[in-house]
Structure 1
Amino acid sequence: MRSWLSLCLRLALLAAVLSAPTARAADPMGPDVLVRNVTEEVLAIVRQDKAIQSGDVGRVLGLVDEKVLPHFNFRRMTMLAVGRDWRQASPQQQDHLVNAFRTLLVRTYSNALTQYRDQTIDFKPARYGEADTTVQVRTEVRQAGAQPIAIDYTLEKTAAGWKVFDVIVAGVSLVTNYRGSFGEEIRKGGLDGLIRTLEEKNRSLERAAAPQSRA
């Protein structure tokens, strides 16, 4: 179950940058239009960048950091994943948690772009009103020989535009999935223990990616 969920969540980030809406929203600043604009720019880079196509982790990280991550609200994602223990964290601990969780998500799913092959995205028309500040955008990832995977994005409208703060894969929320493991780490070692665990995981992922980045 855990490996299946990990694969689905990697596909979630892939869909975030590859989604192509089938219908044009009335609101030019809507969340589906935002995804379309990001898609066009990112795919143009991926199709031309041989290093990304060959799995250059450093190049992929740079692309994701520049083009994709500005559209995610990692602070809110971290707050939801940590749950009620977030209120007990000092401002410094909160900053450490946000940075470590952000790095974990980026390093865990940065290979999504290098895995782009023949997947297609069925982008469901978003329905929302001008006064709505939270919108769910529904999609399906389709690939030959596999069952479609439903991936829904929950976005909030902020002063800086629409931001993703949760991804729901086949009915499983990303932040809810992490909340269970985060809670277990907090019970064992407190908030500082969770921070140490996240930072060590990030170091392990960085070491594992280093040989490929140097190739």
Structure 2
Amino acid sequence: MRKLFALFVAVVGLTVAAADTPAPETLVRNTSQEVLDLIKKENLSPSDKRFRDLVEAKVLPSFDFTRITMLAVGRHWRDATPQQQDALTREFRSLLVRTYSTALTANKVQNIEVKPVKMSDNDTDITVRTEVGIANGQPFPIDYRLLKVNNAWKVYDVAVEGVSLVTNYRTSFNQTIQKDGIDGLIKALAERNASQPAKAAGK
């Protein structure tokens, strides 16, 4: 459950870079505090429409879901048709968003400490390290892998306590593809999403 919760923290901590491309650690720090303050102030839960709107507006633009899916699928990605790639990205994105939302109910964030990042103006691929403090538990590390594309930083992997999101899913995805093919993986993801419908969808 900690890793599920950590994935939510990962998306909470990042947003789209402004035109002047602020330092990644500043971007993480400012956005995470803004979102956490809003959640506490309004006492939001994953079933609230406001919460879902917040995720859509503040979180999703920060992630390169196509790249994340491509890396998670691994060598099989190039064998997929454009339609299959789109379907994989769509279903995997839905799965991750549900994970982020439901994980919030398991823990309460107390603070997020963003570690300084040493980087040059020419760097385009960096890791931002943070430590997450939660209620009634030991703090734990989350590392964000970000790629700078078109003057904006995008997340393409998250490591929780040293475990990579991309690597973790790649193992299970590879097993499913070897057994049932790419369409089998799409079907499995779609069925998993359908079996966990968003609560209070009309709220």
Shorter-chain-normalised TM-score: which range? 0.7 to 0.9
Call closer, same or farther: CA 1:14–1:115 in 2, change over 3 Å.
Answer: farther
Kindly state the Cα deviation for residue 56 of structure 1 after the two structures are TM-superposed: 2.0
Gaps of 5+ in 1: 1-5, 20-26
2:127 to 123, 136, 142: 136
Q: Does 1:202 align with 2:197?
A: no
Alignment-derived partner of residue 22 in structure 2: 29
> Normalising by structure 1, what TM-score?
0.82
> Normalising by structure 2, what TM-score?
0.86
CA contact under 8 A between 2:25 and 2:115: conserved in structure 1? no
Q: How far does the alpha carbon of each residue in 1:45-70 deviate from its partner, in whole angstroms, 9 at most, with x for none? A: 323324x24x4254322211111110
Name the CA distance, whole Å, in 2 between partners of 1:169 and 1:178. Answer: 13
Kindly state the Cα deviation for residue 40 of structure 1 after the two structures are TM-superposed: 4.1
Q: How far does the alpha carbon of each residue in 1:55-112 deviate from its partner, in whole angstroms, 9 at most, with x for none? A: 4254322211111110011111000000000010011110111111001000111134
Name the CA distance, whole Å, in 1 between partners of 2:164 and 2:93. Answer: 16
Q: Does 1:97 align with 2:83?
A: no
- Kindly, what percent of the aligned residue pairs are identical? 49
Q: Which has the higher helix share?
A: 1
Name the CA distance, whole Å, in 2 between partners of 1:35 and 1:204. Answer: 33
Q: Does 1:80 align with 2:94?
A: no
User: How many residue pairs are counted as aligned between the two chains?
Assistant: 198
Worse-matched range after superposition: 113-122 or 193-202:
113-122
Q: SS of the residue aligned with 1:147?
A: coil
Name the CA distance, whole Å, in 2 between partners of 1:159 and 1:81. Answer: 23
> Once superposed, what is the RMSD of the aligned Cα atoms?
2.3
Amino acid at match of 2:191: E
Alignment-derived partner of residue 13 in structure 1: 8
Gaps of 5+ in 2: 15-19
Amino acid at match of 1:32: E
Alignment-derived partner of residue 102 in structure 2: 111
Worse-matched range after superposition: 119-128 or 138-147:
138-147
Kindly state the Cα deviation for residue 34 of structure 1 after the two structures are TM-superposed: 1.7
Kindly report structure 1 stretches of 4+ aligned residues shifted beyond 4 Å: 112-116, 212-215
Kindly state the Cα deviation for residue 158 of structure 1 after the two structures are TM-superposed: 0.8
Kindly state the Cα deviation for residue 187 of structure 1 after the two structures are TM-superposed: 1.1
